[in-house]
Amino acid sequence: MIAGSLSPPFWGAQTLSEISLDLLWPLLDRKALFRGGWGAGGLTGPAWEEIEAEFAARLRVMQVEAGAYLQPQAVYGYFPAHSDGEALVIYDPAAPSARQEVARFPFPRQPGGQRLCLADYFAPVGGPLDVAIFQVVTVGPGATARYAALEAEGAYSEAYFVHGLASHITEALAAWVHQRVRDDLGLAEKQGRRYSWGYPACPDVSQHREVFRLLPAEAALGMALTAAGQLVPEHSTAALIVTHPAARYFVVRSR
């Protein structure tokens, strides 16, 4: 499967160091925040309507204060790529035609069913160059410091709400950068799937180290990785965007 001919606006990485929260509030999934982030998952009917109104009022207040501890930033980039069996091979973006390998991402294949593998969605070695897009986003360390301070004061409920909001605004930020990529490439609204490490199609979070070699998340955003490859600060995500129109989400299970 070949993603087709794409013309990225640039090769390599770009940093977005100041992203306004005003751009992200419209992308915030309020239902997911209220039900998942703030614990109203099992409510229905009048009970849900009551808590939804209460949470909407709380969110309006928190939006006013959020700029004090949420600092949305991102790095993303376009990289020449091929597939090599079950691995995604990334070439030096400074000289795409030279096809000098700078990173390699092995991905698991489904043992049964359609036997899907992320690498299948990229043009194979020897064919025309394909494009792999990586993104890393963070709302910074301020949220962690904020809810740690609240917990230290015994304000556990407020800390819980801050944590939930930070998690979901991080997802809104990831969606915003993802849409920027779609706009850059002229993709249809549903084209361009985003895969994050730690999820079924790419479970190996240690591959974050390769992502950090490609994108200046440490130097530009002040981020770091734990010994296990987890992202620091907590409210951050990294992802690979796959542009192939047939790309889908799937689970890799053992036999």
User: Is pLDDT above 50 for 243?
Assistant: yes
CA distance 77 to 27: 22
pLDDT digits (tens, 9 = 90+) for 55-70: 999 999 999 999 999 9
pLDDT band at 123 (very low <50, low <70, confident <90, very high): very high
pLDDT digits (tens, 9 = 90+) for 99-110: 999 999 999 999
**pLDDT of the residue at 5:** 64
DSSP code for 66: G
Q: Where are the alpha helices (DSSP H) in the chain?
A: 30-32, 45-65, 142-152, 156-185, 208-214, 217-221
User: Is pLDDT above 60 for 1?
Assistant: no
User: Is pLDDT above 80 for 4?
Assistant: no
**pLDDT of the residue at 254:** 55
CA distance 2 to 134: 18
Mean pLDDT of the chain: 95
Q: Which has more pLDDT, 253 or 171?
A: 171
- Mean pLDDT on 158-179: 98
User: Is pLDDT above 80 for 144?
Assistant: yes
Q: Which residues are 79's β-sheet partners?
A: 132
- Mean pLDDT on 239-248: 96
Cα–chain center distance at 109:
22
Per the document, the length of the chain is: 255
Q: For residue 181, which of 57, 34, 13 has the smallest C-alpha distance?
A: 13
Q: For residue 146, which of 57, 223, 62 has the smallest C-alpha distance?
A: 62
pLDDT band at 253 (very low <50, low <70, confident <90, very high): confident
CA distance 158 to 170: 18
